[in-house]
Chain A
Amino acid sequence: MSQTKMSKNMFEPIELNLAKSEEIAKPSLTFWQDAWRRFKKNKAAVVSLVIIGLLTMMSLIGPHLSGYGYDEQISQHANLPPRISMLENISWLPFDGELEKKNGDVYNAYEQKNVDVYYWFGTDSLGRDLFTRVWKGAQVSLYIALLAALIDMVIGVAYGMISGYFGGKVDNIMQRITEVLISIPNLVVVILMILMLKPGILSITIALTITGWVNMARVVRAQVLKLKNQEYVLAAKTLGASNKKIMVKHLLPNLTGVIIINTMFTIPNAIFFEAFLSFIGLGLQPPLASLGTLIDDGYKVLQLYPYQMLIPAVMISLIMICFNMVADGLRDAFDPKMRD
């Protein structure tokens, strides 16, 4: 400790502002701002969110960019590999319009077929532009997924809230029902529903939601059980709030965290299911394109024209990875206890 010269007047008492010591030093944040701050720290999640945004945008404008319709067939241009004018001279990138024959020979398909135009993602066996089809497919897949997630959300939240809030007999019965429903293999129900309803966008969506809502209901119910014993609910009750008011005004806002997280996880699930159904032939019918049908079509010619499967495969993987990362990030942001 430095022994500086201490004058006598250093020992004079000072006036203290004790109130100042009770000041709150940091600005207070709302729940959402706090969660958003935490989310931002997760770089992977933020990047994923940006990518999702870009993909969504592209899925909307992509199909219009190339000038071809998604079902427009030009048979002379069938099975052309991807070629992008600015990248075609970079040999290690797959955008040079070259294909490899079974015996290993490489040839330029465009030259061989005498084609001048550039197909950025190539064409399929019917001569349809894959760039358009892939983005259209992304559009359809995203649409189905969002729709399914939305319906899941509405049914699931309502079911879970009612079951959790009212408890007792109502809860008991509702829970028994969900227990049985959960035991039924999702897949089986979905396939059977498709068989019954004939494949199409709406039927796929309905099939997905028939069993999908159960998960949301469970999660919501668990959260409601936790919340309804908190004192602000009791306080609201004593002040005379009706059940409906409590559920909507008090519980629902506190449920948004779980709801959003769960929805974020449902979306990749729905995309997967749709793609899966398409892959086994129960999905959308041609000429409609979804990522699943594109992968299915591409798979058939995997050996000869690998790009036809690889491009939609990459697309679907990207979408799913990003949604999963965002969902993970959201979960960490809303519930710090679950952090790494």
Chain B
Amino acid sequence: MVKYIGKRIVYMMITLFLIVTFTFFLMKLIPGTPFTNASKLSETQLAIMKEKYGLNEPVPIQYMNYLLNILKGDLGVSFQFNNVEVTNILMDSLGPSMVLGFQAIVVGTVFGVVLGVISSLRRNTWVDYSATFVAVIGKSIPSFVFAGLLQYFVGLKLGWFPVAFWKGPEYSVLPTIALAMFPLATASRFVRTEMIEVLESDYITLAKAKGASWFEISFKHALRNALIPVATILGPLTVNLMTGSLVVEQIFGIPGIGEQFVKSIMVNDYPVIMGTTILYSVFFVVVILIVDLLYVIIDPRIRLAGGRV
């Protein structure tokens, strides 16, 4: 078990290293400097700026410097906001994104599981068909389309919820719904399939043969077994949230990391772009690790066998 965790952490490190390197060199290949968008600078001014940001050094040196700085926790300084540390920028934007992401995953998963369970217990009835319909819609319609539609119909036309900015909990309702649709749809289909498979197992028939009631069978026996695999989809779902949040934050004007990322791309603010990329990657990799561990822990078959065989 410990060996397994150790191995995963090593992979994590390698991955992060590769990402940083890849991102760095990619940045260097992107034409244009952050200053080309700014007002016309004279040659000398340009030279001074370049010096200041260390852009005159040969590329390998820049690379080494960058790596060293990262290890120190220093992600550099933003180009677009003079002298503001990248780390600060990221920290400020982190809050709203985390809240939004967390809400979306919880709402999506919980409702998705409930929907899936109901579907499986009332198979091939109208309940099942409507749930399937919702799931297909949720899975297929892109989150930004949802976001736009919600904003227009529920926000503007019906006026039930605010459509932009982040000033209180009610501001998070629409964006959470938009982001939660995909996890909800995925979770509900998944749980439904698992429940159906479990309900057809021999041990469920045996439980019936012991005199267990429908309720006891569904919840004491079946549900536990059906829910364990849900941990396996949490990873991909979280990733999906990251993607979705980029646009949803834009549409709803939420000052989160996604918005920051898009902005920096527009203005070629390298340090911020790289910092965000690294942040995303770290987050991503850590989440996957946690989820995998979670799965190992909650399934007694794997837990007692000492981790992934």
Contact for B243 among A186, A282, A299, CB less than 8 A: A186
- Beta-carbon contacts under 8 Å, A137-189 to B: 179-180, 183-189
User: A68 on the interface (CB 8 Å rule)?
Assistant: no
- What is the interface of chain B mostly: helix, strand, loop, or mixed? helix
Q: Chain A: which residue is nearest B133 at the CB level?
A: A44
| Complex alpha-carbon distance, A317 and B288, angstroms | 29
List of B residues within 8 angstroms of A338 by Cβ: 193
Given A303-B152, A309-B148, A340-B193, does the pair A184, B246 have CB atoms closer than 8 Å?
A: no
Q: Is the CB of B144 within 8 A of A186?
A: no
Q: Is the CB of A187 within 8 A of B15?
A: no
Min distance, Cβ A322 to any Cβ of chain B, angstroms: 8
Q: Is the CB of A196 within 8 A of B29?
A: yes
Min distance, Cβ A149 to any Cβ of chain B, angstroms: 16
Min distance, Cβ A94 to any Cβ of chain B, angstroms: 14
Min distance, Cβ B27 to any Cβ of chain A, angstroms: 8
Q: Chain B: which residue is nearest A271 at the CB level?
A: B142
Given A188-B280, A302-B151, does the pair A279, B144 have CB atoms closer than 8 Å?
A: yes
Min distance, Cβ B87 to any Cβ of chain A, angstroms: 18
Q: Which of B148, B152, B277, B288 has the most CB of A within 10 A?
A: B148
Q: Is the CB of B148 within 8 A of A299?
A: yes
| Complex alpha-carbon distance, A196 and B151, angstroms | 33
Contact for B145 among A193, A195, A317, CB less than 8 A: A317
User: A295 on the interface (CB 8 Å rule)?
Assistant: yes
List of A residues within 8 angstroms of B30 by Cβ: 195-196
Q: Is the CB of A180 within 8 A of B265?
A: no
List of B residues within 8 angstroms of A281 by Cβ: 262, 266
User: A324 on the interface (CB 8 Å rule)?
Assistant: yes
The range of chain B's interface size is 35 or more
- Beta-carbon contacts under 8 Å, A266-321 to B: 268, 272, 275-276, 279-282, 295, 299, 302-303, 306, 309, 313, 316-317, 320-321
List of A residues within 8 angstroms of B262 by Cβ: 280-281
Q: Chain A: which residue is nearest B31 at the CB level?
A: A198
- The number of inter-chain residue pairs (CB within 8 angstroms) is 103
User: A192 on the interface (CB 8 Å rule)?
Assistant: yes
User: A191 on the interface (CB 8 Å rule)?
Assistant: yes
Q: Is the CB of A302 within 8 A of B137?
A: no
List of B residues within 8 angstroms of A134 by Cβ: none
Q: Which of A179, A184, A189, A193 has the most CB of B within 10 A?
A: A184
Q: Is the CB of A313 within 8 A of B140?
A: no
User: B33 on the interface (CB 8 Å rule)?
Assistant: no
Contact for B242 among A187, A309, A340, CB less than 8 A: A187
- Beta-carbon contacts under 8 Å, B197-255 to A: 239, 242-243, 246-247, 250-251
Q: Is the CB of B136 within 8 A of A324?
A: yes
User: B141 on the interface (CB 8 Å rule)?
Assistant: yes
Q: Is the CB of A180 within 8 A of B14?
A: yes
| Complex alpha-carbon distance, A264 and B293, angstroms | 31
Q: Chain B: which residue is nearest A183 at the CB level?
A: B15
Q: Chain A: which residue is nearest B137 at the CB level?
A: A321
Given A184-B281, A191-B265, does the pair A196, B141 have CB atoms closer than 8 Å?
A: no
Q: Is the CB of A183 within 8 A of B148?
A: no
User: A259 on the interface (CB 8 Å rule)?
Assistant: no
- Residue-wise, chain B 170-211 has the 8 Å CB interface mask toward A (1 for contact) of 000000000000000000000001001000000000000000
User: A130 on the interface (CB 8 Å rule)?
Assistant: no
Q: Chain A: which residue is nearest B262 at the CB level?
A: A280
Q: Is the CB of A306 within 8 A of B152?
A: yes
Q: Is the CB of B18 within 8 A of A302?
A: no
| Complex alpha-carbon distance, A320 and B145, angstroms | 12
Given A192-B26, A268-B140, A303-B156, does the pair A185, B242 have CB atoms closer than 8 Å?
A: yes
Q: Is the CB of B142 within 8 A of A180?
A: no
Q: Is the CB of A183 within 8 A of B284?
A: yes
User: A325 on the interface (CB 8 Å rule)?
Assistant: yes
Contact for A313 among B14, B145, B246, B284, CB less than 8 A: B145
- Residue-wise, chain B 33-57 has the 8 Å CB interface mask toward A (1 for contact) of 0000000000000000000000000
Given A196-B29, A272-B142, A321-B137, does the pair A180, B15 have CB atoms closer than 8 Å?
A: yes
Q: Is the CB of B140 within 8 A of A321?
A: yes
Q: Chain B: which residue is nearest A282 at the CB level?
A: B265
List of A residues within 8 angstroms of B127 by Cβ: none
User: B93 on the interface (CB 8 Å rule)?
Assistant: no
Q: Is the CB of B239 within 8 A of A320?
A: no
Q: Is the CB of A184 within 8 A of B15?
A: yes
Min distance, Cβ A261 to any Cβ of chain B, angstroms: 15
Q: Is the CB of A321 within 8 A of B285?
A: no
Q: Is the CB of A179 within 8 A of B11?
A: yes
| Complex alpha-carbon distance, A303 and B157, angstroms | 9
Q: Is the CB of A280 within 8 A of B284?
A: no
| Complex alpha-carbon distance, A183 and B280, angstroms | 11
User: B62 on the interface (CB 8 Å rule)?
Assistant: no
| Complex alpha-carbon distance, A89 and B74, angstroms | 65
Given A276-B144, A295-B148, A321-B140, does the pair A185, B26 have CB atoms closer than 8 Å?
A: no
Min distance, Cβ A294 to any Cβ of chain B, angstroms: 12
Q: Is the CB of A195 within 8 A of B265?
A: yes
Identify the 7 closest CB pairs spanning chains A and B, nearest first: A320-B140, A321-B140, A183-B15, A317-B141, A313-B145, A187-B243, A192-B26
B-side residues, CB < 8 A to A, are 11-12, 14-15, 18-19, 22-23, 26, 29-30, 123, 136-137, 139-142, 144-145, 148-149, 151-152, 156, 193, 196, 239, 242-243, 246-247, 250-251, 262, 265-266, 277, 280-281, 284-285, 288
Given contacts A192-B26, A321-B137, 16 further A-B contacts (CB under 8 A): A180-B11, A180-B15, A183-B281, A184-B281, A185-B280, A188-B23, A195-B26, A195-B30, A280-B262, A281-B262, A295-B148, A299-B148, A317-B141, A320-B140, A321-B141, A338-B193
For this complex, 10 residue pairs linking A to B, each with C-beta atoms less than 8 Å apart, are: A183-B288, A185-B239, A276-B142, A282-B265, A303-B156, A317-B141, A321-B137, A321-B140, A323-B140, A324-B136
